[in-house]
Structure 1
């Protein structure tokens, strides 16, 4: 389902806001000058604060959103005995595939460095402005991370303190443990607690959707500030970023997935892609993993002939937990913006980005622009100006369509791999006559 604003799809308004902000900023950059007093007054008192309000609203919602999504996603796997072999294979494949996706993305960005070449003085000026605007958040972000201390810091001594300080990794680890606890301590009380967490997730998603409706105005303001400062150089960097992101996605889609289907699932990759063409198209056009879930389930059972119980388990969990396309996009975006603003990330910091992207792929909602809060939070973690997210939002719709397609096909690849060697249950055990509702979250 595509959100609409004033009769037009939301992404059309976002694109319009992007173009208006970009055009006005370029005009100011070329014919007026970013240092003109009235321009500085507008950027300091109008466009800057509007963009900051949008970003602060995202930061306000992201912690409860990710906690509830992760905890409920783990809890929905069922009791531990039912998880068994299928749950372990699904989790292991998801982590490995997401890690490969992020590594491809980071490798492409490091190889082609699309964000390099910006005037350091201009980049530093924008960096200083963003640090002042988001000083409280950036001040709590780690400046350097040692490998040993990093693993110790994964375990929060106080999860509320970690959440208050925007330490996303410890909060995610706690959410994962909390979800496992819900699985192990099944009772009427824990079922009600899980329903409450599901309610929290739905409330956060509703609020995120409300905030996203402000995106066209916020993006116009953010892009005006950026374009007025950087001029045409911004367009060149943005084109390079999109090309690198699409190239990394293409490698994962047409190299990694076919290898997994052929080697791990023992199937013909060409026939596999032919069988999943319908969810492929639906995912590309809707940009929503959740909206595509019913079509993916149908393709898995009728075209790929996968066991019903395996397909339903892997695809339903995968709509939230197996989003390697999103993880790849987040890694590429963070490193691109770090290069753009001259923030050098060490190997250890890039490993941290990779881990957060993998976990963020698990916790990201499978709806259009669902990765936006995660990207914004990772930017803060590594000291990159959060305003930089406005750079990518203008082309995010198309990239969102591509990474959602990668996510959905990845879910089907995972279901195919996990199904290898698994026997289907007798018809009466699977109760095919029962019409089990498929959750419609998008």
Structure 2
């Protein structure tokens, strides 16, 4: 990351108008390497989510246990999203980042129509699961995988044979993940170099206060709220958690995608944190889909910011509506193109604010998107650790071992471990 940023800044300042740098380095070499790396990560998401969820669900043969685990996970995710929104709105009211002088009659922003809550609920059920996989519709894939895994666990001996097949398939996919992760340093280097070459610094001028406020609230959520929740609900050491989640956060920051970071998040949760696979394979794909605390923070601050810019007073009822709407909207975020900005348009419409105000914050949204993705994956992992601890599917010795999971086992050792696990 540091090397990529440094290279980008050097080329930007030493050769500011070079067509060679623009055509062959920025849009050529760096773009190709970065795009290939992101594509290789996205390639893994659908098979990883489907297979890992089937494995996790078919190991939960007790329907009440599956219902309890799902209830805990969704409740915790909605709870942290509501906290994030409340903090962001209160901070924006106190700091008052909006300035009416920013309003421009030429502001234009075209946004796709956000889905209604009823559409989000209906679209969770796939009418064609294969199509859902080809389109990467994560909510539909998750629901189908849970139903499929539940059915496997309830057909006796034939189900056990299928479950063994999926466990073997899961080991193969995790091996592919390991291979792709070897490309990570080069992919991150290219992504950060291109970003520092292309991001316009002048875009910060008019909205620097908004930008800094969102960053501050994101840091509060990641470094204060999550550690407190971890300590209160699990009794674990928050400093050890923050130390072990650091690599996942940096990876999420580089890719700006919770789904693309999912293979890394699962690997860290299981091998660095000590979470059992049957918990991690359920909570993390679900979290990458519905737990958008970082996005909720942006929506909370942006709503107040836009209201202040246009001189519109919001009532307590309006603020309450923002919290409720944005919390429920986070469930439908993953299946919607444009993610945060489309959901923000939905929230603005709900409280009668002009959607055109989104044009004010577009310039800095890319950087904020990277930061809020890091917060999102942190929240996913905190929830996973807490739920695993409450379900008795957590190895505290692994969590307290600072070196756990750092030394990757050889392929032969992984095969032997997989065979041993299958026999068990």
Give the TM-score, by structure 2 length: 0.59
Kindly provide the CA deviation profile for residues 132-168 of structure 1, in whole angstroms up to 9, marking residues without a partner as x.
x99xx9xxxxxxxxxxxxxxxxxxxxxxxxx9xx685
Matched, 1:345 2:314: yes
| Aligned residue-pair number | 290
| C-alpha displacement of 1:307 | 0.9
Matched, 1:277 2:212: no
| C-alpha displacement of 1:238 | 0.5
Measured in 2, the distance between the counterparts of 1:341 and 1:104 equals: 22
Alignment partner of 1:376 out of 345, 349, 352: 345
Whether contact under 8 Å (1:287, 1:367) holds in the other structure is no
Kindly provide the CA deviation profile for residues 278-317 of structure 1, in whole angstroms up to 9, marking residues without a partner as x.
1111011111111111011010000101011101111011
Q: Aligned to 1:240, what secondary structure does the other structure show?
A: helix
Q: Aligned to 1:285, what secondary structure does the other structure show?
A: helix
| C-alpha displacement of 1:394 | 0.9
Matched, 1:172 2:141: no
Q: Please tell me the root mean square deviation across aligned C-alpha atoms, in Å.
A: 3.9
Distance 1:398 1:364, change over 3 A: same
Matched, 1:108 2:53: no
Alignment partner of 2:128 out of 176, 186, 193: 193
Distance 1:109 1:9, change over 3 A: farther
**What is residue 105 of structure 2 aligned with on the other side?**
126
Which structure 2 residues correspond to residues 9-408 of structure 1 after superposition, within 5 A? Answer: 81=64, 83-116=66-99, 118-119=100-101, 123=103, 126=105, 168=115, 171-173=116-118, 175-176=120-121, 179=124, 182=125, 193-197=128-132, 237-365=206-334, 370-408=339-377
| C-alpha displacement of 1:401 | 1.1
**What is residue 152 of structure 1 aligned with on the other side?**
none
Q: Aligned to 1:306, what secondary structure does the other structure show?
A: coil
Kindly provide the CA deviation profile for residues 372-416 of structure 1, in whole angstroms up to 9, marking residues without a partner as x.
221233233333332221211111111111100000000000001
Matched, 1:433 2:418: yes
Measured in 2, the distance between the counterparts of 1:336 and 1:272 equals: 33
Whether contact under 8 Å (1:288, 1:368) holds in the other structure is no
Q: Aligned to 2:89, what secondary structure does the other structure show?
A: helix
Measured in 2, the distance between the counterparts of 1:385 and 1:421 equals: 44
Measured in 2, the distance between the counterparts of 1:244 and 1:368 equals: 26
Kindly provide the CA deviation profile for residues 228-264 of structure 1, in whole angstroms up to 9, marking residues without a partner as x.
xxxx9x9665111111111111111111111011111
Distance 1:167 1:318, change over 3 A: closer
Give the TM-score, by structure 1 length: 0.57
Measured in 2, the distance between the counterparts of 1:244 and 1:404 equals: 16
Distance 1:378 1:432, change over 3 A: farther
Distance 1:9 1:238, change over 3 A: farther
**What is residue 206 of structure 1 aligned with on the other side?**
none
**What is residue 31 of structure 1 aligned with on the other side?**
none
Q: Aligned to 2:334, what secondary structure does the other structure show?
A: coil
Distance 1:246 1:366, change over 3 A: farther
Show structure 1 runs of 5+ residues with no match: 14-71, 138-162, 183-189, 204-219, 224-231, 426-430, 435-442
Whether contact under 8 Å (2:290, 2:334) holds in the other structure is no
Distance 1:167 1:323, change over 3 A: closer
Whether contact under 8 Å (2:253, 2:370) holds in the other structure is yes
Kindly provide the CA deviation profile for residues 103-150 of structure 1, in whole angstroms up to 9, marking residues without a partner as x.
00001111111104x24xx84x839x97xx99xx9xxxxxxxxxxxxx
Measured in 2, the distance between the counterparts of 1:100 and 1:293 equals: 23
Whether contact under 8 Å (1:301, 1:311) holds in the other structure is yes
Whether contact under 8 Å (1:287, 1:368) holds in the other structure is no
Whether contact under 8 Å (2:258, 2:377) holds in the other structure is yes
Whether contact under 8 Å (2:227, 2:238) holds in the other structure is yes
Q: Aligned to 2:314, what secondary structure does the other structure show?
A: coil
Whether contact under 8 Å (2:57, 2:282) holds in the other structure is no
| C-alpha displacement of 1:356 | 1.8
Measured in 2, the distance between the counterparts of 1:290 and 1:243 equals: 26
Q: Aligned to 2:391, what secondary structure does the other structure show?
A: coil
Whether contact under 8 Å (1:325, 1:403) holds in the other structure is yes
Distance 1:236 1:424, change over 3 A: closer
Whether contact under 8 Å (1:288, 1:367) holds in the other structure is no
Show structure 2 runs of 5+ residues with no match: 1-21, 32-49, 139-198, 395-415, 420-424
Measured in 2, the distance between the counterparts of 1:194 and 1:346 equals: 43
Measured in 1, the distance between the counterparts of 2:66 and 2:356 equals: 42
Measured in 2, the distance between the counterparts of 1:345 and 1:410 equals: 29
